[in-house]
Amino acid sequence: MRKVALHNLGCKVNSYETEAMRQSLEENGYEIVAFSEKADVYIINTCTVTNMADRKSRQMLHKAKKLNKDAVVVAVGCYVQAAGEELKKDEAIDIIIGNNNKSDIVSILDAYYETEDNNMFIEDLSRQAQYDEMKMTTVGEHTRAFVKIQDGCNQFCTYCIIPYARGRIRSRSLEDLGEEIPKLAECGYKEIVLTGIHLSSYGKDFAKEESENATGKLGLIDAIKEVAKVDGIKRIRLGSLEPGIITEEFLEELKSVEEFCPHFHLSLQSGCDDTLKRMNRHYSADEYYEKCQLIRKYYPQAAITTDVIVGFPGETEEEFKTTSEFLAKVAFSEMHIFKYSKRQGTKAAVMENQVREEIKTVRSDKLIAIGERLREEYIDTFLGKDAEVLIEEPMTIDGKTYMVGHTREYVKVVMDISDEYVGKIIPVVLKGRIKNEILLANMKEMY
């Protein structure tokens, strides 16, 4: 029995694909071992979203070869798709697999062991491609499963390499999704997180004959409802959304799905219109703010989280100030702050007035501080209120072990209860903050 070790870099979509490859390998007779152990095959699912991600991908590929010089080292994913020709020259790598061939991992390895001839599998994703069907029934977490339903992006933001690495939008069929979710429910998963590279575009690539009503309007809400039909699934979350998907109609439909958790990760990147235009983002700051207000009309205490890029080319002090004030105005429940990273092959990489690294750092620190304040203010709005918590695992704080879980709004909660409650949804009263962003709760009664 050959031993295989897998290592994942990057986003939740990558995580899903890594787990799906692991399960496929296990089902076909491979023994899964830790990456630190000596293995016959090392598979690294790479990331290319920043220069740092490229570097980490290369480091892990070379580390694998050092762990066992005779092992087959397999480079998979986004960095491969973006830099395949460069990786071909790297003697540490034996097999190169792009973003639309991961489901073939077993047959690719089998063929390689037979001939060692064909070792590069990269499709041209600049053209329309089929969705690479991958399925799994077990994941690393015990209560929450991330499920990929969409790939690719057609937006071409000026800073982003992902449309080149992931290709055009491709959506998973509802039929295929409907086959996977019941199996995850049977394994005890209560919460499903639907993920994709550009989740808001789900279904837009479907031909009319593929949609249920032959209108070509099948969309993300239909995928959400497909999951909600499955017995045992109590919660549904969404990955990152674009502001354009937030409409009265969409929120009306969401409101009818009682399993939906009011946790919206709404991509922003900048709160300044001039910066948004240079980024090729298709909304203004005012339009974005209106979407947030619309969400709060339907879900008054919704968690609205976002991503912000600081130090984008041409960002002046005035533009940065505009963004800072906008973030406070929206009052996000959480913000992820990224310093702009130049990606070769993108329009932003050759823009004038690149911002110096030390300025990016100062601005980043300021936004992180704003984010921490907003996070605390949001969490404090739950104090003394009732909530439902899905219990996940033990967590030790200051030497004491609690059980940790999350509310529907993804607020982290700890409770002084036993591990028999793992996987159960418990009604609680949120009593106070125990540490930073973590609330302490008392159980009301279990159902």
Q: Domain ends where: 346, 364, 380?
A: 380
**Does residue 436 form part of some domain?**
yes
Scan for tokens 């219109």, then name that residue.
273
pLDDT of residue 300 exceeding 90, the answer is yes
pLDDT of residue 440 exceeding 70, the answer is yes
Q: Is 152:163 a contact under the CB 8 Å cutoff?
A: yes
Q: How far is CA 210 from the centre of its chain?
A: 26
Specify whether 182 is located in the same domain as 271: yes
Domain of 188, CATH number, reads 3.80.30.20
d(C-alpha 317, C-alpha 243), whole Å: 26
Q: What's the pLDDT at 51?
A: 85
Specify whether 336 is located in the same domain as 409: no
pLDDT of residue 446 exceeding 70, the answer is no
**Does residue 417 form part of some domain?**
yes
Tell me the mean pLDDT in the region 45-61.
92
Largest pairwise CA distance in the chain: 65
Q: Is 217:266 a contact under the CB 8 Å cutoff?
A: no
Tell me the mean pLDDT in the region 239-258.
97
Q: Which domain holds residue 394?
A: 386-443
**Does residue 56 form part of some domain?**
yes
pLDDT band at residue 326, thresholds of 50, 70 and 90?
very high
Query: Which conformational region is residue 19 in: left (phi greater than 0), alpha (psi within -120 to 50 degrees), or beta?
Result: alpha
Specify whether 148 is located in the same domain as 234: yes
Tell me the mean pLDDT in the region 421-428.
94
Specify whether 297 is located in the same domain as 427: no
Scan for tokens 């159960």, then name that residue.
424
Please state, rounded to an integer, the average pLDDT across all residues of the chain.
91
**Does residue 236 form part of some domain?**
yes
pLDDT band at residue 428, thresholds of 50, 70 and 90?
very high
Tell me the mean pLDDT in the region 50-54.
88
**Does residue 222 form part of some domain?**
yes
pLDDT of residue 379 exceeding 80, the answer is yes
pLDDT in tens, 209-248: 455 544 457 899 999 999 999 999 999 999 999 999 999 9
* Per-range mean pLDDT, top range of 6-20, 205-219, 302-316: 302-316
Q: What is the dihedral of CA 324, 326, 332, 337, to 10 degrees?
A: -40
Tell me the mean pLDDT in the region 2-31.
93
Specify whether 198 is located in the same domain as 245: yes
d(C-alpha 380, C-alpha 129), whole Å: 47
For 324, the enclosing helix (H) or strand (E) is: helix 317-330
**Does residue 329 form part of some domain?**
yes
Specify whether 57 is located in the same domain as 166: no
Q: What's the pLDDT at 64?
A: 93
The pair of structure tokens assigned to 17 is: 């694909």
Residues of the chain above pLDDT 90, percent: 78
Q: What's the pLDDT at 438?
A: 93
pLDDT in tens, 113-164: 888 766 888 776 766 667 767 766 665 557 889 999 999 999 999 999 999 8
d(C-alpha 19, C-alpha 125), whole Å: 23
Q: Is 196:148 a contact under the CB 8 Å cutoff?
A: yes
Number of domains in the chain: 3
Q: Domain ends where: 352, 380, 408?
A: 380
Q: What's the pLDDT at 447?
A: 41
Specify whether 238 is located in the same domain as 368: yes
Q: What's the pLDDT at 437?
A: 87
**Does residue 126 form part of some domain?**
no
d(C-alpha 235, C-alpha 189), whole Å: 10
- Name beta bridge partners: 16: none
d(C-alpha 151, C-alpha 154), whole Å: 10
Q: What is the DSSP string of 230-252?
A: STT--EEEE-EE-GGG--HHHHH
Specify whether 261 is located in the same domain as 356: yes
Q: What's the pLDDT at 401?
A: 94
Amino acid at 51: N
Domain of 404, CATH number, reads 2.40.50
**Does residue 129 form part of some domain?**
no
Specify whether 108 is located in the same domain as 203: no
The pair of structure tokens assigned to 10 is: 């990057």
Specify whether 245 is located in the same domain as 390: no
pTM as predicted: 0.89
Specify whether 393 is located in the same domain as 375: no
Tell me the mean pLDDT in the region 12-23.
91
Q: What's the pLDDT at 83?
A: 85
Specify whether 274 is located in the same domain as 341: yes
Domain of 91, CATH number, reads 3.40.50.12160
Q: What's the pLDDT at 134?
A: 74
For strands 438-443 and 412-415, give the pairing. parallel
Q: Domain ends where: 89, 121, 153?
A: 121
pLDDT of residue 286 exceeding 90, the answer is yes
Q: Is 147:224 a contact under the CB 8 Å cutoff?
A: no
| Contacting residues for 55 by C-beta, under 8 A, at least 6 apart | none
* Per-range mean pLDDT, top range of 91-105, 135-149, 343-357: 343-357
- How many CA atoms are closer than 13 Å to the CA of 56, on its beta-carbon side? 15
For 302, the enclosing helix (H) or strand (E) is: none
pLDDT of residue 277 exceeding 90, the answer is yes
d(C-alpha 346, C-alpha 156), whole Å: 9
pLDDT of residue 165 exceeding 80, the answer is yes
Q: What's the pLDDT at 121?
A: 84
